[in-house]
Structure 1
Amino acid sequence: MAQTIRFRRHILASALLALISSASVAAQETEPSTEGKTKATELDTVSVTGSRIKRSEVEGPAPVTIITGEQIKAEGFTTVYEALTTLTEATGSVQNDYDWGQSSVNASPLNLRDLGPGRSLLLINGRRVADYPMPYQGKSNFANYNNIPTGIVERIEVLSGGASAIYGSDAVAGVVNVILKKDIDDDTLRARWGTSTEGGRIVKDISWSGGKHGDKWSLAYTFQYFDRGELLAKDRPFMDSELDRPYRASGPEDRFFGTVYQHPSNGIRLRRADGSFYYAPPEGACASNEGEFYTQARHRYDRNTGTVTEQGAYCAQSAVFRYWGLKNGSKDLSGYLYGNYDFDNGLQAWATVGVWKSTGESNTFMTAWGSENFYDPRIEGGTVALNLAKFFTPGQIGGADNALTRSNELSWDLSTGLRGTMFHDRFDWEFSLGRGEYTVEEKFPSIHEARAAEYFLGPSLGVGPDGSTTIRMPNYDRLWYPISQHDYERIAVVGRKRAESWITQGSFTMSGNLFEGWAGPIGFAGTLEMAKQGYKLHPDPNTLGASPVYYTPFGNVEQGGGERKRYAAGVEFKIPLLKTLTLSTAARYDRYDAVADDAATTWNAGLEWRPFSNLLLRGSYATSFRAPDMHFVYADPSVSIADQTDYLTCIRNGRLNGVCNRDDWLVDNPEISREGSEELKYEEGDSFTYGFVWDIIEGLSFSADYWRINLENQIDDVDADQVLKDEAYCLTGQTPDGSPRVAPPSERLCQIQIARVTRNAAGEVTGVVVGPINRAEQSVSGVDMSSRYRLATDHWGTFNFSLNYTHQRSYRSRQYSGDPFLETRDIDRKPRYKGRASVAWDSGKRWNATIFTDWISGTRSDRYGGCTPFADGFRPEAVNGCTDTDPNSPTYNQKTELVDYYNQDRIYWNASAGYKINDNATINLYVSNIFNKHYQDKWCGGFAYCVADPVGREVAAEFVYKLD
C-alpha cells in the first residue's frame, strides 16, 4: 500500500522530486500524527545538475529547471528539441532551416541566454557527447539537440549560468543534462501520426520501450522510428514568391509598375555583363518551361523625372521560392539499452549504449547555373560582354526531389562503469569509461562548371576585345527552352562531403560526508576526468579553391580537422554554517592541449538560507571558461572570391566625395581565405544569481531569481571588410568617412590585421585572410520567475498549474576592448521577455488533459530606425532626419517618420487530451499551434526574415498499449 506523505521541505522541491521519481504528479494527502501535527517522511538523496553532491532538496543555490519525458509529450511536442526551445532561458535565436547558406541539414543547436550555441553544455546522463561534426555557420562545432529521441528521455535538467567549476569548458551560459530511462517495468508500444492542417509535414512516430529485471540485474530498452516530411514553400503559398512581401516594403519602381519588381537572377536571362540591358526571349519561350516562368519586361524608373527606360526582357518566375525548403525532413531510427548487475560485495556494474541513424532532406533553391562573361559576335558585333543564367524546372532535372540535399547521419555512444561505496559506506564512488562517435555524409546537387559552359556556350573561339574574356557562340535554344533530363544529366553532378567527430572519456567521482560539522555533515565530492576529442572534415575536392569545378554559391568551404586532449580535476564542498544556512563551493582545474593558454581554474560559491521552513533565500557566484572550439583552431585554409572595398587606397587618395564607397574603390574578386588559429586564448566569464523560493500556501510556490552573465575574450570571426578597415586605420589613423574612431585598434590587433592583407606590386588588394580572434565582450542580465500550484479535488481530479517567465533586462556588448559597452538588446532585435505556462488535469480515472502556451516578446522590426516611405515608395535617409535632401526630387524638403515598430508578441497554444480505454490501452490527441499563427513582420522585404513559424497548426493522434 502506498504511503501517504507530507514533505517537510518546501512544496516546489517536493513536487520536483515526485516528477523525477515517477514522471507524473501524484496526489499528496495530509496524514495527521497522534500529536495533531503533520508527519514528515525524509526524502532520499538525489543528484541534481549543478552539483555532484547528493542532496534531499532539489532547490539549491542556483535555479534548475526540470522537464520530464511525459511532460514533453503532454505539452504537444514531437521532439526534445522543440520542447527545449520553449525554455524561457533559451532566448537566443539559431540558424533556421530556410536560412541562406545553411551548413547543417539535420542539426539543431540550442542558444541559452543568447550567448551562442557553443556556450552551453549538453550532457547525456551527466557525460559529454560528441559534437556535431560540421561547423555551425561554417565557423564552430556545436552540440546537436535534434538526435535525442523522445522515447528514451526520463527527464531534462537545465542549469542556466556558469557551471565550469563542476563541468568544465563550455558551461558558460548553462548546462542541459538529459537523463535517460534506467528503470522501466512495463513494455509499452506507442504509435503516433500527425500532419499540418495547411498541408505537408506529415509525422510518423513509433516506439517500443520496456525493461526486464532479475534478482541482481535489470535491463531497460527503447527503440524508436521517427519520420517527418520536409515542408516546401509551395506548401505555404504566402511564402513562395517575392510577390508575397508587403506593399509597404516596395520601392518606387515596384509601386509605379504595379507589381513587385522581380530581380533578374530569379529566372532565365541573357544580358549585358554590366546589367544595363536584357535581351528578350523568343515569343512563347518562357511559358514553354512547364509554366514556371513568364515574360517580364525590364524597366528602369526615374522618380525625379518620371521617365521610364526600357531595358529589355527576361523569363521571370511566378513563384520564386516555390521549391525552397522551409522545414527540413528526416527519417530517424534509434535504439537505447541500459543494464546493470549487482555483485555480492555491493559493487554494481552498468553499461549503456545508444545508436541514432538519420536521413535528412533540405533544399535552399531549385538548381540553377550562371555563366562567366563572354563575347558573341552575333550580338552587337561582339563589342559588349554578355552573361546568361538558367534555372531548371523539376521536369528537366527528373523531379523536384533531385534538387534536395540529403544527409546520412550515424551517432553512437557507449559507456560503462562501476559504482560502489568505500570507507564503510561513507562515500559513494563511480568509475566510467565511454566512447562516442558522430558521422555525417551529405550529397548535394550541383552543376559541373566546365561541362555546363561547353553545353550552353559552346567552345571557346578566342579572346574578345578586352584581351581576356572568351568569344563564344551559344545555342540560345538551350537557354530559353526546356532541356531534356538526359541533357541535364550531362552537366549535373552530385557533390559529396563527409565529416566525423569523436570523444573518448573516462572519469572517477566520489561523494559523501567528510565529517559531522557544527551545524551538520560536511558534504564532499571529488572528480578526475580525462578525455580525447577530435573531428575531421572531408569536403568534396571539386568544391575547393577560388574557382571550383562545381558551382558553390556559399563562399568558403569548410576544411580542417584535429584532435586534442583534456585533463581535469575538481572538488566540491557543502558546508552547513548554521542549521538554516548552507555554503556550497567548488573548484576545478582544466587543461586542454593545442591552445595558447595552458590551463583554466574556475570556482563557484553559493549560499542557501532557510529562515523559515517555507522560505529559501539563495545566491551564487561562478567563474567559467570556454576552450577555443576545435574548428576555430584546426580549420584549414579555404578560399573563395568576393568583391571588397580598398579603404587604404581611398583614404590615401583623399576620399572622393568625402567617403569611401565600393563603386569608386572596388576590389574585384580578391581571394578571401579563412583559416583557424592556434593562438586563441580561453574565453572567460562569470555569472551571478540571487533570489528566493517561497511556499506561499499548501500546494502553491513561487520563485524569482536575478541573474547576470559576463563573457570576455569572446572568439568570433573577423570578416574581410573589417580587416580592410582596420588595415586602413592602422596605416593612416583615419576612417573611411573621416569620423573619429571611438576605440582605435591595439598595436597587436594592427599587426594581425595588416598581415592579413596581401597586395601586389601596384598596391592592389589580391587577398584577405579572415578567421577567428579573441575580440568581443558581452554581458547579459535578467530575471527568472516561476510558480507552481497543485489543486486536488474530491470529485474533479487533480489540477497542476505551472508558469515560467524570463525578463531579459540587458544585453550589452562591444567588439574590441576600449569600444563603448553598448546596450544592444533592442538594436540587435533580441527578445525582452519570454514565458511558458501549462495546466495539466488528471481525472484520477480515465481522462487527462493539458493546455500549454508559450510566448516571446516582439522584437524590433527589420526596418526599425529607418524611415517610412513617401507615397511612391521612396525612403529618405535616417541620417538626414527622414528629410528628402535631393533638390531634383519631387518630394524635396519633405519629411517622413522614423520606423519605430515592434513586431507583435508571438503566442502559441498547444493542447492534448488522453482517454484510458482500459488498463492497457490509451488514446491521446494533440494539437500544436491551435490558432494557426505564423507572425509576420509587416515591414519586412524578404520572406526568410518575415515569417516566424511557417508550419502553422499541427494535429496528431497517438495510441499507447502496455503489454502484460
Structure 2
Amino acid sequence: MNSRHWAILSLATLVILSEGVLAACPKSGVRLPAGNLSRALISMGRQCKISVLVQTTSATSYTLPEQILDSEDGEFEPALQQLLQDSPFTYERVGPSAVAVLPRKIEAEEAAQPLPAHTEEITVTGRSLTGSHLRHLQLDSYAPIDVLAQPELEITGAQTIAELLKFLPAVSGNSTSTSVSNGGDGTATVTLRGLPASNTLVLINGRRIVNNGFGGEAADLNSIPLSAVDRIEILKDGASAVYGSDAIAGVVNIILRRDFEGLSVNSYYGRAQRGDQQTESHHITWGKSTERGHLMLSLAHYSQGALMSRDRQLSATSDNRARGGTDLRSSASPSAYIALDDGQEIVTNSASGGYREWTQADRYDYREYTSAVVPSQRQSAYLEGNLDLGENTLLFAELMGIRTAAKTTMAPTPVFTRFDNGDLAIAADNIHNPFEQEIVDVRKRVLELGPRLQKNRTDTWRLNSGVKGMWDSWQWELTAALHYTRATEKLNNLIDPWALSMGLRDPVTCDGQSDCVAINLLGPSGSIDAEQVEFIRGESLVDGTTRMTSLTYVVNGALGSNGAGNILAAAGLEARREAIDFRSNDAMGLSFIGGSASGSAVGQRMIGEAFAEISVPLAEDKFWLDGALRFSEYSDFGNTGNPKVALRWRPSPSLMLRASYATGFKAPTLIDMNQTGYQSQEYLFDPCTSRDAPTLPGCRGQADDARIQYLTEFGGNRDLQPETSDNRSLGLVWTPQQLKGFSATLDLYDIRQNDVIDTSPQYLIDRNAHSGLFTHRVLRDESGDITKILATRLNIGAREVRGFDLAMRYEHISEDIGQLRWSLNSSHMQRYLNQAAPGSPVEDLAGTFVDAASGGAGSLPQWKANTGVYWHKGRWEGGYTVHFVSELEESFTLDETRVTREISNWSTHDLQLAYSLPLGLRFAVGIDNLLDREPPFAATAFNDNFDGRTYDLSGRYWYTTLAYNL
C-alpha cells in the first residue's frame, strides 16, 4: 500500500463523516460517587464517553451526595441538567462530544472563548499540560501535544506502554522492547525524532522518575503498568527550560488514574494466528471516595509468550543471498573451522571422522535457536490516596511496585580462539591436537553447552508523597519522591576464558592446575564430553541499582492583569540526588566468551534547580508571549541555564499560530562518566577486509574477510560535558467554526544538537583504515586483523533533525449511526544530519536504516503515520486503524561492491469490535495486522532480517478482552 493510496483512504474516510448531535449514557442510569462536583463530572464523562471541561478551582469546593441519574434514552444532556439543577453551575456545548461546565456568574463573552471540540481527556481546564506548569487548554498550548486518553487506550487493544507508543508517528530509531532479542535486556524505551532514548524524558504525573537499572540511561516503560494509566501526553518539543535534562527530543508524560471510583476487573488473551506468542493480561482496580478523601488500589499481571525466529519465513535463516542480501551465517560452526600454518582452512568431517577443506557452505545458521520476541512477565501494584486537610489543603501519596522478568534464547556459544579474550592458542602437544603444531585460529560453535539463556529481572519501587493546595488564586504543591530500581541479568552456558585457556595448553601445564580438563575444540560436534563442558561452562552475572530522591516545590497562578488579560506565572525549586551502583562478575576485564563484559559503574550526583514560567497576553484573546527559564547546578560537571520563549497569535477565533525557540541539554549519565570494563563483540565493518586494503594507509594487507564481530571495550569519561541543543518550532492550529468537531495542527520542528556523547567504534575503524589514525584505539596484530577496539565516550558528535507533524481529527454524533471519530496523525522527517566526529563527513540519515548492532541510528523513515475510524453507538463500539511506515534505504558490501537497496514501505490494519453487556460487562475482540503482512526484509538487520524496533513479526494476531465495571 503506497503513500498515495494511504492518503486517499484517509481523506475518503473524512468525507464519509457528517455532522450530528450529542452522545449516549448507560440506559440503566449514571452512577455517581459522593464527593465534589469535579469528581462527579469525571465519572459522568467516562460513563457517557464525552469530554467534560470544568474549572477545578470552583468545582472541587462544591460537594454532592452519591446518586444515580436517570438516562432511560441514553441522552447525556438531561442527565447533566439533573445533576446541575440546584447548583450554582450551568453548562455549554462546545462540540459534538464535549461540554463545558461553568459557574453561572460567568459572563457570556467569557464563557464563549474557544474550547476544544474533541474528547482527548475527561477534564481539561484547571491543570497544567505537559510542557508547562501553567494551565492551558490543549489547543492553546505553545507546543504540539498528542494525548492518548482512556477511550483511545481501550480501543487499541495494547497491553503495554511500549506496544502503544511503538507505532506513534513521532517515534523512530533505536527504542528497545521485548521485540529486540539479541542485544535486549527486557526493558523498553521510547525514542522521539529518532534521537537516542536518553534524549526523551519520561515522566509520571508530570514528575521525573528513576532510570532503569541496566545502565541508567533512560526510563524503562515496562516498569509502568498500562492498566494504571489514565492518559498519555506526548510533547513533541524540547522542554529543558521546564523539566531540565533529557527533554531534547520531547517528553512522554504518563498520567496515572487518580479519581477512579468503583471496581474494575479486566482480562485479556491473545495469540498469533500461527499459534505462538500467547499473551494474557489480568488486572483489578478498586477505588472509593469519602467526603474527606479517596483511596485506589490497582493490581496487574502480564505474561507474554515467545516467538522463535525459526517459526517465521522472514527470520528462519541468516543466509539472505536469495533475497539479495549477504550470508550472515557464522564462521563458527559445530564442525570447527581450523586454520593451519601452511594456509589450509579445514573443517572436521563428521561422516568420515577426518578433515576436509572448509567452504562457505560450512557457515552456521544460528536462527534455529534464537527467540524473536522475548517471553516476559510483569506483576505490579499501585496504591493512590489523598486526604482533605481543610483550608484548601490536600495530602496525597502514590506508591507503585512492579517486578518484570524476561528470558531470551540465543544460539550456543561460539569460540573464536584468535579474537576472543585470553590466550586461546591450542598447544602443539595438547592431547586433542593431531596436527603437531600450535593452532591459533579455530572457530567453533559449542553445541554441547546448549543454547544461551539470558534471564533479566527488574524490581522497581516509586513513592511520591506531599501536600498541595490553594492560596487565593494560586496553586502550590510540595512533593517528596523516593525511587529505587534493581536489575539483574544472568546469561548462562557461556565459556570461561581462563578455564578454556588452561584446557588448550600442553599436558604439563594443564595437569599442574587443580581440576584442569583438556578441551577438544578440533573434533566434530559432540566431541566435547560432559566433563569438558562443565569445566569451561561460565555464567555472566550483572547486578545494577539506580536510586533517585527529590524534593520539589511548584507554585502557579495569576500575577495580575495588564488590560489584555491575566498574566499567568509559575515558579519552583527542585533538589535531587541520583545514584548508580552497577557491577558484573566479569569486571576484571575479561568477558565470558559468548557474552559481553558489562563492567561496573559506581557514582552519584547532587542536582539543584530553580525554574520559572510566565505567560503575558499582549492583545486580548489574540496575542500572547510565553517564556520559561531553568537553571541547573550539577555536582559533577557544573551548571547550565536553559531558556524558552514562545509567541501565540490568534488572528481569528478558528486559527492560532505559534512559534517557539528553546535551548536544551542532556546531562552525561552516571554510566557515561563512571563505567569501566565494558566489553562486547560488536558487529562492525573493517575496510581492511576489502580487496583494495593494500592501498589504504592504515591497513597491513587484506585482513580476514570472514569476520563480522570485533571485540570492543567501552569506557566512561569523567570529563564529559552535557549535550546541548537548540529547538525551533513553528505551527498552526485550525478549528473551523463552520465544521464543528474538526481540528487540524501543522507543526514544523528543527533540533540542532552539539557535543553529542558517542563512542562510535565504526568511526574509529574507518578513520584508522583510510587515514592511519587512532592506532592507539584500533589495535591490530601483525596480519592487520583487529584484536581490540578501545572506544571511550567523548563529546564528539553533532546532529540536526528537521521535519513537520500533521494531525487532523474530526468527531460527530448522529442518532442513526452514533458517535464517529476520525483521526490522522503523521510525521515527516525532512532531514537527519549526523556528524560522528569533527572532521568526519556529514550524512543525511533521513529515510535510511543502519542497525543499532552496527552503531547506527536504526530506522528513520521520512514518513510515518496512522489513521483510523472509531465508532460508538449504544452498547457497541469499534475501531479500525491503519499504520504506515515509508520506504527506507540501506547500504552494505556485496561481492566487494557497495550496494544500496530499498526496504519497502509497510502498513498494517488493526480492527476491534466491542459490546457492553448489562451489569457492567464489556466484551471485545480484535485483530492486529488484519492482512497478515510480514515486515519488509532488511539485509543489514542483525536480529531476524528486519528491524524489530520499527516493525512487528507476529503476523495476524487475535485477541479478546472481558471487562467488568461496577
TM-score > 0.5 by shorter chain:
yes
CA contact (8 A) 2:598 2:677 kept: no
For residues 527 and 167 of structure 2, the distance between their equivalents in structure 1, rounded to whole angstroms, comes to 47
| Superimposed CA distance per residue, residues 848-872 of structure 1 (whole angstroms, 9 cap, x where no aligned partner) | 1011121111101444xx67xxxxx
Task: Confirm or deny that 1:335 pairs with 2:381.
Answer: yes
Q: How many residues align?
A: 836
Q: Tell me if structure 2 keeps the 8 A contact 1:776–1:815.
A: yes
What do the CA deviations read for 1:785-811 (whole angstroms, capped 9, x no partner)?
Answer: 111111211121110011111111111
2:287 paired residue among 196, 211, 217: 211
> Cα–Cα, structure 1 residues 369 and 659, in superposed 2: closer, same or farther, change >3 Å?
closer
Equivalent in 430, 434, 442 of residue 477 of structure 2? 430
- Correspondence for 2:459 among 394, 402, 410: 410
Change (3 A) 1:231 1:822: closer
- CA displacement, residues 244-299 of structure 1 (integer Å, 9 cap, x when unaligned): 6525336xxxxxxxxx79654132326235673324334288xxxxxxxxx99756
Aligned to 1:687: 727
Q: Is the 8 A contact 1:458 1:472 kept in 2?
A: no
Secondary structure, in 3 states, of the residue corresponding to 1:71? helix
SS state of the match for residue 310, structure 2? helix
Whether 1:735 and 2:771 are equivalent positions in the alignment is yes
Residue 521 of structure 1, CA deviation? 0.9
**Deviation digits for residues 895-933 of structure 1, max 9, x if unmatched?**
xxxx55422211111111111121321111121111222
Equivalent residue, structure 2, for 1:360: 406
Structure 1 residue 827: deviation in Å?
5.5
What residue is the counterpart of 1:795 in the other structure?
Answer: 816
3-state secondary structure, aligned to 1:151: helix
One-letter amino acid of the counterpart of residue 572, structure 2: T
Given that 2:729 and 2:749 are in contact with CA atoms closer than 8 Å, whether structure 1 keeps it comes out as yes
1:404-448 deviations in Å (ceiling 9; x for gaps): 2111210010010101122xx121100000010110111111344
Task: Determine if the alignment matches structure 1 residue 877 to structure 2 residue 931.
Answer: no
Distance of 1:538 and 1:945 partners within structure 2: 33
Q: 1:619 aligned to 2:678?
A: no
Residue identity in the other structure for 1:167: Y
Residues 657-679 of structure 1, C-alpha deviation per residue, up to 9 Å, x if partnerless?
Answer: 4643254689x999965321121
5 Å-filtered alignment, 1:302-381, equals 320-369=366-415, 372-374=424-426, 375=428
Deviation at 1:564, TM superposition (A): 0.3
1:278 corresponds to which of 346, 357, 361: 346
Secondary structure of the 1:166 match is helix
1:97 Cα deviation (Å)?
5.3
**SS in structure 1 of the partner of residue 241 of structure 2:** helix
Summarize the alignment of residues 517-916 of structure 1 with structure 2, pairs less than 5 Å apart. Answer: 517-541=562-586, 544-546=588-590, 548=591, 550-554=592-596, 556-579=597-620, 580-595=622-637, 598-638=638-678, 657=695, 659-663=697-701, 673-696=713-736, 697-719=739-761, 722=764, 725=767, 735-736=771-772, 769-817=790-838, 821-826=842-847, 830-843=860-873, 845-863=874-892, 875=895, 877=897, 901-916=901-916
Q: CA deviation at 1:558?
A: 3.0
- 1:74-111 per-position Cα deviation (integer Å, ceiling 9, x unaligned): 12322111111222111223357576861x42111111
Kept in 1: contact 2:314–2:945 (CA 8 A): no
1:479 is displaced (CA, Å) by 4.8
Q: Distance in 2 between matches of 1:477 and 1:675?
A: 35
- Pair 1:19–1:369, CA change in 2 (3 A): farther
Tell me how far 1:116 sits from its aligned partner. 1.1
Is contact 2:496-2:538 (8 Å) kept?
A: no
Query: Could you say which residue in structure 1 is the equivalent of 2:544?
Result: 499
Distance in 2, Cα, partners of 1:671 & 1:155: 44
In 2, the alpha carbon distance for the partners of 1:643 and 1:950 equals 22
Gaps of at least 5 residues in structure 2 are: 1-20, 24-40, 52-75, 77-92, 116-123, 418-423, 511-515, 850-858
In the alignment, the residues of structure 1 paired with residue 311 and residue 683 of structure 2 have an alpha-carbon distance, to the nearest angstrom, of: 36
Aligned to 1:382: 436
Instruction: Tell me the secondary structure at the aligned position of residue 599 of structure 1.
Output: strand
Cα drift, residue 628 of structure 1:
1.2
CA-based RMSD: 4.2
TM-score of the superposed pair, with normalisation by structure 1: 0.78
1:453-464 alignment runs, 5 A limit: 453=500, 460-461=507-508
Q: Quick one: which amino acid aligns to residue 921 of structure 1?
A: L
Residue deviations 1:746-802 (CA, integer Å, cap 9, x gap): xxxx9xx68868999xx9999864311111111111111111111211121110011
State the Cα distance separating 1:581 from its structure 2 match: 0.8
In the alignment, residue 711 of structure 1 is paired with which amino acid?
A: Q
Separation (CA, whole Å) in 1 of partners of 2:832 and 2:710: 36
For residues 766 and 366 of structure 1, the distance between their equivalents in structure 2, rounded to whole angstroms, comes to 23
CA gap 1:905/1:408 in 2 versus in 1, 3 angstroms:
same
Query: Distance in 2 between the 1:604 and 1:769 partners?
Result: 39
Distance 1:148 1:385, change over 3 A: same
- Aligned amino acid, residue 342 of structure 1: D
Q: Is the 8 A contact 1:574 1:582 kept in 2?
A: yes
Q: CA deviation at 1:487?
A: 6.5
What secondary structure does 2:152 align onto? helix
- Native 8 Å contact 1:700 1:790 kept in 2: yes
Whichever residue aligns with residue 127 of structure 1, its letter is R
Distance 1:646 1:794, change over 3 A: closer
Deviations 1:208-243 (A, max 9, x none): 012011110101221100000122213325423234
Give the Å deviation of 1:170: 0.7
* CA distance in 2 between partners of 1:335 and 1:585 (Å): 39
C-alpha distance in 2 between matches for 1:408 and 1:68: 30
Distance 2:718 2:493 in 1: 34
**Equivalent residue for 2:13?**
none
CA–CA distance in structure 1, aligned partners of residues 387 and 796 of structure 2: 51
- 1:160 Cα deviation from its structure 2 partner: 1.2
Structure 1 residues 818 and 578: alpha-carbon distance in aligned structure 2, compared to 1, 3 A threshold? farther
2:699 match: secondary structure: coil
Matched, 1:439 2:506: no
SS in 1 for 2:759: strand
Structure 1 pair 940–589 and aligned structure 2 pair: CA distance change class (3 A): closer
Q: Is the 8 A contact 2:923 2:962 kept in 1?
A: yes
The offset of 1:519, in angstroms, is: 0.3
Query: In 2 relative to 1, CA 846–373 (structure 1 residues): closer, same or farther, beyond 3 Å?
Result: same
TM-score when scaled to structure 2? 0.78
Distance of 1:404 and 1:916 partners within structure 2? 43
Q: CA deviation at 1:565?
A: 0.8
Local SS of the residue matching 1:242: coil
The structural deviation recorded for 1:645 is: 12
Partner amino acid for 1:438? T
The answer to whether the 8 Å contact 2:848/2:888 transfers is no
Name the CA distance, whole Å, in 2 between partners of 1:955 and 1:920. Answer: 24
Query: Match of 2:127, SS?
Result: coil
- In the alignment, is residue 508 of structure 1 matched against residue 508 of structure 2? no
> Cα–Cα, structure 1 residues 199 and 522, in superposed 2: closer, same or farther, change >3 Å?
same
- Counterpart amino acid of 1:831? P
Quote how far apart the aligned CAs of 1:949 are. 2.8
Q: Do the aligned partners of residues 735 and 854 (structure 1) sit closer, same or farther apart at CA in structure 2, a change above 3 Å counting?
A: same
SS of alignment partner, residue 919 of structure 2 = coil
CA distance in 2, matches of 1:187, 1:936: 44
* 1:91 paired to 2:158: no
Q: Deviations over 1:561-594 (max 9, x none)?
A: 2000111101111111001111111111011111
Question: What residue is the counterpart of 1:923 in the other structure?
Answer: 923
Whole-Å separation in 1 of the counterparts to 2:726 and 2:717 = 25
Partner of 1:161: 237
Distance 1:127 1:851 in 2: 34
Tell me if the contact between 1:909 and 1:930 (Cα under 8 Å) persists in the aligned partners: yes
Classify 1:838/1:482 alpha carbon distance in 2 versus 1 (closer, same or farther; 3 Å). farther
Residues of 1 paired with 2:372 and 2:885: CA distance?
21
SS of aligned partner of 2:944 = helix
